[in-house]
A and B are shown apart, each in its own frame.
Chain A
Amino acid sequence: EAQVTQNPRYLITVTGKKLTVTCSQNMNHEYMSWYRQDPGLGLRQIYYSMNVEVTDKGDVPEGYKVSRKEKRNFPLILESPSPNQTSLYFCASSFSGGGSDTQYFGPGTRLTVL
């Protein structure tokens, strides 16, 4: 089944404790992206990747890192999480090509930073 998977689905952590949220897709998509969703603010893009070893900042990259060493994986790294990073996170992927391309989203990771 074609899908985007994220792990963990739920995470409670403390300020300053490094964490990684994994994202994997099995559709051979070139483009992958991370979003965060907060009440009243909608979905905002954190980082995106056009292909392996090609990443760039989205609208809210501060406090986050990403890497794209393999085509299928795009982990989101929080080196020193803070409470303002408490949010619902979504990974998305799409094949590539023009803007008519469709993005597929993962199920989400709910992160709480105490």
Chain B
Amino acid sequence: DAKTTQPPSMDCAEGRAANLPCNHSTISGNEYVYWYRQIHSQGPQYIIHGLKNNETNEMASLIITEDRKSSTLILPHATLRDTAVYYCIVRVAEWGGSNYKLTFGKGTLLTVNP
């Protein structure tokens, strides 16, 4: 799986949009970009994923650059409960065994301030 680079920490004001960047310059054509978050020692929570196109769900939006070498997770209206470590992961799309493993890096600690 391709490696990812994220800033170690970011701050955001409550009610504002939080934009979390991720670089994955070695991503392959068959690799998805996933975002998970972990709120203080709880189980990681899936947020969103995409391959090429931008994606949006009820939690967030994912913007992937045209060359797919970077992406941005957008939380449109951050709340205090969004304070967490956010992980950007790239993973092969093929089915099978160890491909299902999620390799978490250090992630970005997002702190939402009142």
Where the two chains meet, the residues of A that have a C-beta atom closer than 8 Å to any C-beta of B are 4, 31, 33, 35, 42-43, 45, 48, 50, 56, 58-59, 88, 90, 92, 94, 96-108, 110
Residues of B within 8 A of A45 (CB): 101-102
Residues of B within 8 A of A50 (CB): 96-97
Q: What are some 16 contacts across the A-B interface (CB < 8 A)?
A: A42-B106, A43-B104, A48-B97, A48-B98, A48-B100, A56-B98, A59-B101, A88-B41, A90-B43, A94-B100, A99-B91, A100-B49, A102-B46, A103-B102, A106-B43, A108-B41
How many B residues, CB 8 Å from partner? 26
- Give A104 to B36 CA distance when docked, in angstroms: 10
Where the two chains meet, the residues of B that have a C-beta atom closer than 8 Å to any C-beta of A are 31-32, 41-46, 49, 51, 91-106
Other A-B pairs, 15, CB within 8 Å; known A59-B101, A90-B43: A4-B43, A43-B103, A48-B98, A48-B101, A50-B97, A58-B101, A98-B93, A99-B31, A99-B32, A99-B91, A99-B94, A100-B49, A100-B93, A102-B46, A108-B41
